Amino acid sequence: MRLSSETLIQFVREQGIQAEIIELLDDTPTVAAAAAVMGVSTDQIIKSVLFLADGAPVLVISNGLSRIAWKRLADYLEVSRRRLKTAVADQVLAITGYPVGAVPPFGHKVPLRTVVDTAVYQQAVIYGGGGEIHALMRLTTTELRRIVGHETTSLSE
């Protein structure tokens, strides 16, 4: 089942989450494009990357253009680097319900273990996947932490 920005809006309402889904006129398939459309820094754009650690899904949230340090993530998750993979597009859709490039930080088909890069919390307001390639979610990092939990570590290279 594929989820959408409408599904995400419904989830946000039902859970009492302080977030706004912003429908855009243009697609924002890249961090730079999203930052340009919103008029914000690329560090305010977050990406939700799905990893498989020993086959188990783990969502990692990091700042836009920063690279995730795989070795640090593997060590944090206590798996060998070889047992850590990024999910391919079909897996992302099957597990989260959203296509790559539109994955929100929460509101997936099933709750996912979520690890947030500490650098994300240096921002007050962030924009992440809004469930569609032409939508973004605006929320505060305080609200992000409340919803996804406190699992955080330094993952930026």
**85-135 per-position pLDDT tens digit:** 999 999 999 999 999 989 999 999 999 999 999 999 999 999 999 999 889
Q: Which of 124, 155, 136, 143 is nearest to 8 (CA)?
A: 136
**What is the pLDDT at residue 22?**
96
Q: What is the pLDDT of residues 24-77, one digit of tens each?
A: 987 777 788 889 999 999 999 999 999 999 999 999 999 988 999 999 999 999
**pLDDT for the residue 103:** 96
> What is d(CA 116, CA 105) in angstroms, rounded to the nearest whole number?
10
pTM confidence score: 0.95
Of 146, 115, 147, the closest CA to residue 47 belongs to: 115
Amino acid at 57: P
Which CATH number does 5-153 carry?
Answer: 3.90.960.10
